Every structure is written in C-alpha cells, then in structure tokens.
Structure 1
Amino acid sequence: MATEFYFNTQTHEVEEGRHSDWSVLMGPYPTREAAAQALQTAHERTEAWDRQDEADRG
C-alpha cells in the first residue's frame, strides 16, 4: 500500500499516514511536498472558483 500524507491544520505539520482526527486533516496527498502545500493549493483553488463564479454572474 502506498504511503499517504496529510496536512494537519491544527499543528501545520505533515503527517505520514493518518494519525490525527479527520476534522483537522487535509488529504490524503501522494507526497509529503503536496501535503505541505495543502493550504496554498486550497487558497489557489478557492480564488479560481471565486473568479469563475464572478464570470458566471456576468
């Protein structure tokens, strides 16, 4: 089984495997690096969705 990585939103640390409660985790991610960028990725996606919503509204 492949190792999965999670970003802990409480500690801001990457966890190898799920050790914390699901309510404070983002993931799983395939790499440690992807998990470390979880907040940045989420921020970028939210901005893109907001721009699309604005464009859809005209």
Structure 2
Amino acid sequence: DIRPLDSDFLLMDNCTPALAGPSAFQIPYLIRQKICSSLDTPCPNGADWRLLAQRLKLD
C-alpha cells in the first residue's frame, strides 16, 4: 500500500471511550430484535442468511 498516511485522525480529540472486552461485541436487545426481524426467514432451499453465514464459515 503506497497511499500517504492521513495523520489528521491522530490529532483528533475524541472524548468518547472505545469499548473493549466482551462488552464491545454485545448488541443491545432491542437492536438485536430489529436486526433479527429484518433478516430473511428460513427458506426451504437454503437461500437465506443462514446459508450465507455457513458458506462464509461464520456459523
């Protein structure tokens, strides 16, 4: 990668703390419900999010 480094982000004073540890990957219940309701329901031929996760080896 030969792109120049944009050092502006190093100078930003970000006051919001970054999450670390197990809590960094926990999705709040209401958001998890919305995500689940927006995903496809199981499909008999497997053309749904579960098959995608399986093929990407994320299941």
TM-score by structure 2 length?
0.23
- The structure with more helix, counted as a fraction of residues: 1
Bigger Rg, structure 1 or 2: 2
Select the structure that is richer in strand: 1
Compute the TM-score of the two structures, normalised by the length of structure 1: 0.23
Identify the structure with bigger relative contact order (alpha carbons < 8 Å, sequence gap 6+): 1
